[in-house]
Structure 1
Amino acid sequence: MRAPPSLSVVVVSYEMKRELPRTLLSLSPAYQRGPAAGGCEVIVVDNGSSVPPDLSALGAAGATPRLLRATRPGPSPVGAINEGIAAARGELIGVWIDGARLASPGLLQAAAEAAALHPRAVVATPNYHLGPDLQYLSGERGYDRAAEDALLDSIAWPQDGYRLFEVATAELRNGPEAPMLESNALFMHRALWAELGGYDEAFQEPGGGVVNPDTLVRACALPGAQLIRILGEGTFHQIHGGLSTSTLRGAMAVLQEGSRAYLQRRGLPLAPVRMKGWLYDARRSTVTA
């Protein structure tokens, strides 16, 4: 009988015919480095795409993701995320709220190593945008899918996935210890996800509103939780017309509307996580408290 996976990654997708195959390739054993990838299951939860994703071409990369169709697809991905978490078999579970994000080659191994450092680890990876600036800015200056395709070709991706850092912009503009609003690849042990209750399904705004920041805040507030930030790895956002990444006006609208909803639900203003936590340098396997 085949042993259950040690790690599960839940990827939510909606109308990502161009972006999703790249994301899944970046999570495959052929691309990821270290033993963690070999014990990883990837679960794609399609949130109501008009045509379900075709994952058949991924076998050559050693990727065999499971495809689930959300039972209650809607504008918010929250229900789809929670269905994916419920289906996950790994002891460590990571969530990709946005299926358009490429992983760096050591991300899965780094997440597994970081999670092993503490029994109640909240492992947060940093976010990057492909292109010369954050995409809600570069998109207004002509950065589009064609420009991004050419950008990835220029670094011969996926031959060396670490070259993504050469052509990307960090969301944390003030360094890895800066206040963190969200992580688009968040990892916790199964028991901690259960204690958290997954993503809060009150967040039914398109795109989930600010449910991702809310999840990070709530996770870090769990009794005894230890935030661990990963250095040297990350996720890289592909442009795809997302609500919060397409235009500056759209990004501001999502943040403003989401902040109002957050205040109503939590009774507090939305704020980033300011604790530094532990810094896990994945390239050197060192921890700074």
Structure 2
Amino acid sequence: MSQPLLSIIVIAYDMPRQALNTLISLSPAYQQGVDADDYEVILVENRSKRNMDAEAIARLPGNFRYFLRDEPGVSPAAAINFAFSQVRGRFIGLMIDGARMVTPGVVHYALMALRMTADAMVVVPGYHLGENEQQFHLTHGYCEEQEQRLLDEIDWQNNGYALFDISCLSGANPNGIFHPFMECNCLFLAADVFREIGQADERFDLPGGGALNLCIYRKAAMYPRTRAFMLAGEGSFHQLHGGVTTSEVAQRDAILQRQREQLTELLGEPFRSPKIEPVLLGKVPAEALRYLQFSVERGIQRAQRWAALNKDMYADERTKSLNPSPQS
């Protein structure tokens, strides 16, 4: 295998079915407009009672490297840093939650942005499978069996954009692509930028990493060198798997409060979503048009509010442009 341009990191724990779906969605048999040699996928699984089938991973077309490791903690941070030590590409993709399937154009457009500029930070909008966010799955009677039926009905492996038809917006970006994102669960950037922002801070030691994903996204978005690209017609789709904050669990509010406290402590300031103006990249398939329409409507409302306040709706973008870029 020649040196890949891109290394995609996927972290999994106790989600064999969901993580395999994610890997299938990252394979060159599913991804459109890419060659297998363009990228590799590094899957790191923290051992659980339900580990993945290594032989099933080996049968996938493309360049997959699988590591099963024993993790004494409950956070994926160490696994992320281990995976990063294995990358061979100049750029990385980061999927902390291995239960997120992606649409067929994600790798093609991510590579397009990364080839245009080494400063690219490529953001893939997030969705939840089902009619409602999965942290309310018990209230709405949603379960893994129902989800599997939905996936079977749309024949997703042959029609990946149909994932938009059985999904809803994630709570991390509830107003669409013209509002600041809290986080990104499918993020691409230069490997050296990830190194310079400190990689995955292993002090995020709460179950599931706590607010680690928010921290990484904010640091990457606010880094003076990065330029945000938004794949408006692509998506990452969360599958139900009993996640810490993506399922209806007892004392969820208390869990979120502890995560916020740790995030504030480790950031050194209260968290806020970065106000970054992205470059829109890629086609928007028919299945995604309703989300684009919703985003435009909400975006217009937001622009009007900020104009009435005589404030810049992308203030962080302007601040970044005033800062000198560090040497890479």
TM-score with structure 2 setting the length? 0.81
Residue 119 of structure 1: how far off its partner (Å): 2.3
Residue 257 of structure 1: how far off its partner (Å): 1.2
Residue 182 of structure 1: how far off its partner (Å): 0.6
2:187 corresponds to: 186
| Alignment partners' CA distance in 2, 1:59 and 1:14 | 18
| Alignment partners' CA distance in 2, 1:115 and 1:145 | 35
Residue 282 of structure 1: how far off its partner (Å): 4.1
Residue 260 of structure 1: how far off its partner (Å): 0.8
1:150 corresponds to: 149
Asked if the contact 1:43/1:84 (under 8 Å) is kept, the reply is yes
| Alignment partners' CA distance in 2, 1:134 and 1:248 | 13
| Alignment partners' CA distance in 2, 1:55 and 1:283 | 35
| Length, aligned pairs only | 284
Asked if the contact 1:181/1:271 (under 8 Å) is kept, the reply is yes
| Alignment partners' CA distance in 2, 1:282 and 1:84 | 31
1:208 corresponds to: 209
1:97 partner amino acid? I
SS in 1 for 2:230: strand
RMSD (Å), alpha carbons = 2.0
SS in 1 for 2:269: coil
Asked if the contact 1:183/1:212 (under 8 Å) is kept, the reply is yes
1:266 corresponds to: 267
When residues 133 and 93 of structure 1 are mapped into structure 2, their CA distance, relative to the original with a 3 A threshold, is: same
Question: Deviation per CA, 1:32-71, whole angstroms, max 9, x where unpaired?
Answer: 1012554221111011223542132245541442111335
* Deviates most, 146-155 or 35-44: 35-44
When residues 38 and 166 of structure 1 are mapped into structure 2, their CA distance, relative to the original with a 3 A threshold, is: farther
Asked if the contact 2:95/2:185 (under 8 Å) is kept, the reply is yes
Structure 2 unaligned residues grouped into runs of 5+: 286-316, 318-328
1:164 corresponds to: 163
1:35 corresponds to: 34
Asked if the contact 2:126/2:237 (under 8 Å) is kept, the reply is yes
| Alignment partners' CA distance in 2, 1:17 and 1:72 | 17
2:33 partner amino acid? G
Asked if the contact 1:25/1:63 (under 8 Å) is kept, the reply is no
2:89 partner amino acid? G
| Alignment partners' CA distance in 2, 1:37 and 1:251 | 41
2:245 corresponds to: 244
Q: Which runs of 4+ in 1 moved over 4 A?
A: 58-61, 248-251
| Alignment partners' CA distance in 1, 2:178 and 2:249 | 25
1:128 corresponds to: 127
1:69 corresponds to: 68
Question: Deviation per CA, 1:141-175, whole angstroms, max 9, x where unpaired?
Answer: 21010110111112122110000000011122212
* Deviates most, 70-79 or 213-222: 70-79
1:20 partner amino acid? A
Structure 1 unaligned residues grouped into runs of 5+: none
Asked if the contact 1:58/1:64 (under 8 Å) is kept, the reply is no
| Alignment partners' CA distance in 1, 2:49 and 2:78 | 18
SS in 2 for 1:116: helix
| Alignment partners' CA distance in 2, 1:250 and 1:237 | 21
Determine if the alignment matches structure 1 residue 230 to structure 2 residue 231. Answer: yes
When residues 18 and 182 of structure 1 are mapped into structure 2, their CA distance, relative to the original with a 3 A threshold, is: same
* Deviates most, 159-168 or 196-205: 196-205
Residue 118 of structure 1: how far off its partner (Å): 2.6
Determine if the alignment matches structure 1 residue 99 to structure 2 residue 98. Answer: yes
When residues 51 and 148 of structure 1 are mapped into structure 2, their CA distance, relative to the original with a 3 A threshold, is: closer
Determine if the alignment matches structure 1 residue 174 to structure 2 residue 185. Answer: no
What is the aligned-residue identity percentage? Answer: 36
When residues 7 and 170 of structure 1 are mapped into structure 2, their CA distance, relative to the original with a 3 A threshold, is: same
2:29 partner amino acid? A
When residues 158 and 256 of structure 1 are mapped into structure 2, their CA distance, relative to the original with a 3 A threshold, is: same
* Deviates most, 269-278 or 121-130: 269-278
| Alignment partners' CA distance in 2, 1:150 and 1:246 | 19
| Alignment partners' CA distance in 1, 2:153 and 2:7 | 32
Asked if the contact 2:36/2:62 (under 8 Å) is kept, the reply is no
When residues 250 and 215 of structure 1 are mapped into structure 2, their CA distance, relative to the original with a 3 A threshold, is: farther
Asked if the contact 1:5/1:89 (under 8 Å) is kept, the reply is yes
2:257 corresponds to: 256
2:48 corresponds to: 49
